Amino acid sequence: MTRYLLSRVGQAALVLWAAFTAGYILLQLLPGDSVLIKFQNPELGLSPEQIAEIRAYYSGGNPPLVDYLHTLLGFARGSFGYSIDTGTPVVERLAEALPETAKLASAGFLLAVLIALVIAFAAGYSRTSWIRGALLSMPSLFVSVPVFWLGIVLIQVFSFRLGLVPVIGGSPAQQLILPVLTLAVPISAPIAQVLARSIDQVYTQPFVPVVAAKGASRWWILWRHVARNAVLPTLTMAGLTIGELIAGSVVTETVFGRNGIGRLTEQAVNAQDTPVMLAIVVLAATVFVLVNLVIDLLFPVLDPRLEVAA
Amino acid sequence: MSLLDVRDLAVSYNGRRAVEGISFTVEPGETVAVVGESGSGKSTTAHAIIGLLPGNATVDQGQILLGDTDLATWSSRRMESVRGVRIGLVPQDPANSLDPVKTIGAQVGEVLRIHRRGDRRTIARRVVDLLTRVGLPEAEALARRYPHELSGGMRQRVLIAIAIALEPSLIIADEPTSALDVTVQRRILDLIDDLRTEFGTAVLLVTHDLGVAADRSDRLVVMKDGRIEEQGPSAAVLADPRAAYTKQLLHDAPALSVREFRTAEPPVREPAIVVRDLVKEFRAGPSAVSRAVDGVSFEVAHGTTHALVGESGSGKTTTARMVVRLTRPTSGTVEIAGAGPGRLFRRHVQLVYQNPYGSLDPRQSVAEIVEEPLRNFRLGDRAARRARVGDLLERVALPKDLLTRKPRELSGGQRQRVAIARALAVEPEVVVLDEAVSALDVTVQAQILDLLEQLQRELGLTYLFISHDLAVVRQISHTVSVMNQGRIVESGSTSQVFTDPGHEYTRELLAAIPEPVR
């Protein structure tokens, strides 16, 4: 078991390194750079030679490989360098934005799971075929709704028409309601779909009538046996939606004007603020890798058959 | 008053009748066997009694009287108080009939928890008692283990423990031993018999195996196409069957019909198959190696049938796969007289699998399936191949109008005929049959066995026949090797092995064949 754990952690570290390197190379290949964007304004009156000097100052004038190793070492030690746009340490900018996004993303994810559970369980429990059909078509509807459009519609309906949620000046909790909903709806779709399908699949297993023959009620069968068995493929899917969660929060934060990682990403991209962008790439990769590592380690706990293989 | 009185019961699936007005009774403490082939309605009947018909099935008419209550009119929710309490179920497929993510103890205890029989500690104690009662060792440790850690026989014992937990007055055993090895099968049937005597429980035994039914039941109900063909005391039905269908079943059941042993002429040529010291090892862990096949040697004379018989895990299928070069042996040799190298080997040696449905491409038509080997070896032009496919279908006695059908439109027997026709397409001299008739109903099985014998006579084929079913082996083979744990424990002519077994394991296997007319 320890060997398995170590190898999995090693793999995770490898993935992170690969994400860092790919991010680094791609950002270096981008045409133009942040120095140009920031200092080319004619009002500043800087000559191309002076801009080149500033650039040399930021990069330390090192050859690319040395610069790469230098940055990698910095990241390994937790120092992400300085934002070119604002001149503040990248860590500070991340620390400012992270709590907002963490709140939004975790609440959004929880709500997505809840929506998925309700849809899949209702469909699994229902014996009326049109209700089942309606429930099972909801995920495809959800996934095809664009996040930005949903956000605007929700603001229109709940804030302006119904006046239920204040647009400006609500409590932090109130301000969270609509963005969380916007984020949760499309993410719930793949989870609901996979869960509903695996519930259907588990129902065809021969052990289900055996449980029924013990005198178990429909709910008992669904909750204690079918759901337990259906959760595994769903967990894999849930882990994969983490990527979508990060992408979704960029749009959601922009639509709702929230200061989070999403907004920071948008600003960094506009300013071609390479150190910030690289830090965000690595942060997103870390979250993704960690969540999926936890899920992988949960598998043998949830399905005893996998313990032998581990 | 009867314990169970089924009167004029009719069940249909999506409007199509599966059971058409059947009536029978089960008295307290007796075993009634419902016998029939697939599609006879026997399982539907059993499921209707315990109220576990699938969603697309409806009970159209009739009564299911358990004591004086008519279960046919009860809702599924109301049936929850009957299931497990008054009727227990022993299912067909022990491999998949336990929830894989719950412990054995939790699953046995569940029936007590559902019906609120005692607190956690009482239930835990009762679980250990029950597991011990069904003959499982170290019940306390076993209760903490998971289904995949148990053998098929042990799982079936667990399922029986669940069925008897609340001492129901009726147990429905739906093909309880079909998926088990013969020696395990006998012990499980013995256990059910013991429990029946101990608790006075009646058993409704649903089976396709007339041998098992005759051996274990007080009364027989013979079903065909949703109707009861014949019912009565088992001994009387067996001794003097009235219905033509029962007679045919008795004739076709290999365990019940005593035929002459097949004898081969003394071999004139060198043997068709020579297997020497065959060994196959599989990695069982980082450093552990398990020997699936451990020094197997045998010879098969031209034009004869050699059977490899053994239980699951005996290594017989691995041996067969090495003979047809689908698996590479760790050491040892297989020589097949006249077989070419590489791909040409496949023109000489062909394989027919157990599961005819799984081994036929569902998207191909029968004609395409049978033609494919000819196309692979570029034998003949289009017209010649078409003519050959027609000949092959005729050889295996399939009507020409099946040519355009897809596998799913065929019956199990027809599919296996298609698989045999495909194997014969390239005119092989050796055919390896891996449990080729095991999945078939007895009457179909008898027809396929006849077909195989006929083809062997006409084409001079050599068969290597892999089977767990001794009764079938007795009927088809000239010589036999009995395998156990990767080794051949005994081999010789069929008549010698069956009438004068030299090895203890062979005697055990033979004793396990249900044989009511010894």
For residue B332, give how far its alpha carbon lies from the nearest alpha carbon of chain A (Å): 31
The H or E element containing residue A295 is: helix A274-302
Neighbours of B45 (CB within 10 A): 26
C-alpha dist (Å) from residue A87 to A71, A226, A260, A276, B403: 17, 55, 19, 11, 78
Kindly determine whether residue B110 and residue A216, on different chains, have CB atoms separated by under 8 Å.
yes
For B433-461, what is the mean pLDDT?
Answer: 88
DSSP letter string, B136-171: -SSHHHHHTS-GGGS-HHHHHHHHHHHHHTT--SEE
Give yes or no for residue A207 having a pLDDT over 90. Answer: yes
Decide if A289 is inside a domain.
no
In chain A, what residues touch B146 (CB-CB under 8 Å)?
Answer: 304-305
Q: What is the dihedral of CA A254, A255, A258, A264, to 10 degrees?
A: 0
Decide if A83 is inside a domain.
no
Quote ipTM for the complex.
0.77
Decide if A12 is inside a domain.
no
Kindly determine whether residue B162 and residue A304, on different chains, have CB atoms separated by under 8 Å.
no
Q: Taking the alpha carbons of B155, B156, B158, B162 in that order, is the dihedral positive or negative?
A: positive
Round to whole Å and give the CA distance between B73 and A9: 59
pLDDT the model gives residue B143 = 93
In chain A, the number of structural domains is 1
Among partner residues B52, B85, B146, which is closest to A304 by beta-carbon distance? B146
For A48-69, what is the mean pLDDT?
Answer: 73
Residue of chain A whose Cα is closest to the Cα of B84: A214
pLDDT the model gives residue A308 = 52
Give tens-digit pLDDT for B252-261.
877 666 677 8
Decide if A239 is inside a domain.
yes
Residue B308 has phi, psi (to 5 degrees) of: -105, 115
For B2-16, what is the mean pLDDT?
Answer: 92
Round to whole Å and give the CA distance between A119 and A191: 10
Kindly determine whether residue B83 and residue A211, on different chains, have CB atoms separated by under 8 Å.
no
Among partner residues B52, B92, B98, which is closest to A212 by beta-carbon distance? B52
Residue closest to A179 by CA, chosen among A80, A109, A122, A129: A109
Residue of chain A whose Cα is closest to the Cα of B146: A304
Tokens of A310: 């581990």
Q: Decide if B58 touches A, using CB distance below 8 A.
A: no
Q: Decide if B109 touches A, using CB distance below 8 A.
A: no
In chain A, % helix, strand, coil (3-state, to 5) comes to 80, 0, 20
Please check whether residue B230 is in contact with residue B242, taking contact to mean a CB–CB distance below 8 angstroms. yes
For A229-255, what is the mean pLDDT?
Answer: 85
In chain A, what residues touch B97 (CB-CB under 8 Å)?
Answer: 206-207, 210
In chain B, % helix, strand, coil (3-state, to 5) comes to 40, 25, 35
Which range of A87-91, A141-145, B237-241 scores highest in mean pLDDT? It is B237-241
- A230: pLDDT confidence band, cut at 50, 70 and 90? very high
- B518: pLDDT confidence band, cut at 50, 70 and 90? very low
Q: What is the dihedral of CA A218, A219, A220, A222, to 10 degrees?
A: 90
Residue of chain A whose Cα is closest to the Cα of B110: A214
Residue closest to B424 by CA, chosen among B453, B388, B448: B388
Kindly determine whether residue B114 and residue A215, on different chains, have CB atoms separated by under 8 Å.
yes
CATH of the domain at A150: 1.10.3720.10
Instruction: Identify the weakest region by mean pLDDT among A35-49, A65-79, A212-226.
Output: A35-49
Neighbours of B236 (CB within 10 A): 12
Which residues in A have their CB inside 8 Å of a CB on B? 127, 205-207, 209-218, 220, 225, 228-229, 302-305, 308
Residue of chain B whose Cα is closest to the Cα of A129: B55
DSSP letter string, B227-251: EEEEEEEHHHHHHS--SHHHHHHHH
Decide if A31 is inside a domain.
no
pLDDT the model gives residue A17 = 92
Query: Average pLDDT of chain B?
Result: 89
Give yes or no for residue A276 having a pLDDT over 70. Answer: yes
Decide if A238 is inside a domain.
yes
pLDDT the model gives residue B184 = 83
Round to whole Å and give the CA distance between A259 and B194: 74
Q: With a CB-CB cutoff of 8 Å, which residues 110-169 of chain B face chain A?
A: 110-111, 114-115, 146, 148, 159, 162-163
B341 CA to centre of own chain: 36
Give yes or no for residue A12 having a pLDDT over 80. Answer: yes
Tokens of B390: 């027609």
Give tens-digit pLDDT for B265-321.
666 678 899 999 999 998 866 677 888 899 999 999 999 999 999 888 888 989 999
Give yes or no for residue A310 having a pLDDT over 60. Answer: no
DSSP state, residue B303: T
Residue A100 has phi, psi (to 5 degrees) of: -60, -50
For residue B374, give how far its alpha carbon lies from the nearest alpha carbon of chain A (Å): 39
Q: How far apart are the first and last CA of chain A?
A: 7
| B interface test, pick of A214, A224, A301 with most B CB neighbours within 10 Å | A214
DSSP letter string, A10-63: HHHHHHHHHHHHHHHHHHHHSSS-HHHHHH--GGG---HHHHHHHHHHHHTT--
Read off the amino acid at residue B183: T
| B interface test, pick of A210, A220, A221, A301 with most B CB neighbours within 10 Å | A210
Residue of chain B whose Cα is closest to the Cα of A224: B102
For chain A, the residue count is 310
More confident position, B325 or B356: B325
For residue A125, give how far its alpha carbon lies from the nearest alpha carbon of chain B (Å): 13
Q: What is the dihedral of CA A174, A176, A181, A183, to 10 degrees?
A: 170
pLDDT the model gives residue A36 = 67
| B interface test, pick of A203, A211, A308 with most B CB neighbours within 10 Å | A211
Round to whole Å and give the CA distance between A5 and A96: 33
Give tens-digit pLDDT for B146-172.
998 888 889 999 999 999 999 999 999
In chain A, what residues touch B285 (CB-CB under 8 Å)?
Answer: none
Please check whether residue A124 is in contact with residue A135, taking contact to mean a CB–CB distance below 8 angstroms. no
| A interface test, pick of B53, B110, B283 with most A CB neighbours within 10 Å | B110
In chain B, what residues touch A225 (CB-CB under 8 Å)?
Answer: 99, 102
Burial B177-198 (b: 16+ CB within 10 A, else e): bbbbbbebbbbbbebbeebbee
Residue closest to B10 by CA, chosen among B44, B51, B56, B35: B44
Give yes or no for residue B344 having a pLDDT over 80. Answer: yes
Decide if A177 is inside a domain.
yes
Calculate what percentage of chain B has a pLDDT beyond 70: 96
- Domains of chain B (ranges; CATH) run 4-213 (3.40.50.300), 273-512 (3.40.50.300)
Residue of chain A whose Cα is closest to the Cα of B48: A213
Residues linked to residue B64 through DSSP beta bridges, in sequence order = B6
For A20-25, what is the mean pLDDT?
Answer: 90
**Domain extent for A118:** 97-265+302-309
What's the CA angle centered on B130, arms B125 and B135, to 5 degrees?
Answer: 130
Among partner residues A127, A217, A303, which is closest to B101 by beta-carbon distance? A303
Residues linked to residue B171 through DSSP beta bridges, in sequence order = B88, B203
Question: Is A266 exposed, middle or buried (CB count within 10 Å of its CB: 0-12, 13-18, 19+)?
Answer: middle
Residue that has been written with the tokens 């008519």 in this structure: B70
Residue B126 has phi, psi (to 5 degrees) of: -65, -35
Neighbours of A248 (CB within 10 A): 24
pLDDT the model gives residue B517 = 40
Residue of chain A whose Cα is closest to the Cα of B51: A213
Residue of chain B whose Cα is closest to the Cα of A230: B101
More confident position, B24 or B57: B24
Round to whole Å and give the CA distance between A282 and A20: 6
3-state secondary structure of B11: strand
Kindly determine whether residue A215 and residue B115, on different chains, have CB atoms separated by under 8 Å.
yes
Query: Average pLDDT of chain A?
Result: 84
In chain A, what residues touch B98 (CB-CB under 8 Å)?
Answer: 207, 210
Listed in order, strand segments (DSSP E) in A62-109 are none
Among partner residues B85, B93, B100, which is closest to A305 by beta-carbon distance? B100
Kindly determine whether residue A215 and residue B111, on different chains, have CB atoms separated by under 8 Å.
yes
Give yes or no for residue B112 having a pLDDT over 90. Answer: yes
Please check whether residue B220 is in contact with residue B35, taking contact to mean a CB–CB distance below 8 angstroms. yes
Decide if A219 is inside a domain.
yes
